[in-house]
C-alpha cells in the first residue's frame, strides 16, 4: 500500500490542513485579542507547527515514491524563497518566540 493510500494519512492530512486554515483565519484578528487570547493563539500555533513537523517527518522517513516526491516538491518550493524545510520551522519558531516576548512586555 502506498503512503497516500492509507486512510489514516489521508485523514490526518485533511485535519491538519483544516486546522491550519482555521488557525490562520483566526489569527487575522490577533491584534484585537486580549492578552490571554494572544497567549492561547501562540500555544495553538506552536502545537500546529509540531503536528506539521511530525507529519513531514513521516513523509521523509517513508520509502513510498509519492511521499518522497512530496518532500522534494516542498524543498523545491521553499528553495525558491531561499530556505529549507528546517529553516522554515526554525523561522516559525523564532516568530512565535518574538510574539511571546512582545506579549511579556505588555504585562
**Cα–Cα distance measured from residue 99 to residue 6, given in angstroms and rounded to the nearest whole number:** 37
- Asked whether 10 and 67 are in contact (CB, 8 A), the reply is no
Q: What is the pTM of this model?
A: 0.84
**Cα–Cα distance measured from residue 77 to residue 74, given in angstroms and rounded to the nearest whole number:** 5
**Cα–Cα distance measured from residue 37 to residue 35, given in angstroms and rounded to the nearest whole number:** 5
User: Which tens digit of pLDDT belongs to each residue from 26-73?
Assistant: 999 999 999 999 999 999 999 999 999 999 999 999 999 999 999 999
User: Which tens digit of pLDDT belongs to each residue from 13-34?
Assistant: 999 999 999 999 999 999 999 9
Which residue reads 492561547 in cell numbers? 40
How far is CA 33 from its chain centroid?
Answer: 21
Amino acid at each position: 500500500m502506498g503512503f497516500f493510500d492509507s486512510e489514516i494519512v489521508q485523514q490526518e492530512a485533511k485535519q491538519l490542513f483544516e486546522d491550519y486554515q482555521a488557525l490562520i483565519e483566526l489569527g487575522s484578528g490577533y491584534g484585537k485579542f486580549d492578552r490571554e487570547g494572544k497567549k492561547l493563539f501562540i500555544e495553538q500555533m506552536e502545537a500546529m507547527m509540531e503536528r506539521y513537523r511530525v507529519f513531514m517527518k513521516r513523509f521523509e522517513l517513508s520509502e513510498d515514491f509519492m511521499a518522497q516526491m512530496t518532500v522534494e516538491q516542498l524543498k523545491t518550493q521553499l528553495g525558491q524563497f531561499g530556505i529549507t524545510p528546517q529553516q522554515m520551522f526554525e523561522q516559525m519558531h523564532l516568530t512565535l518566540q518574538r510574539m511571546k516576548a512582545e506579549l511579556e512586555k505588555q504585562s
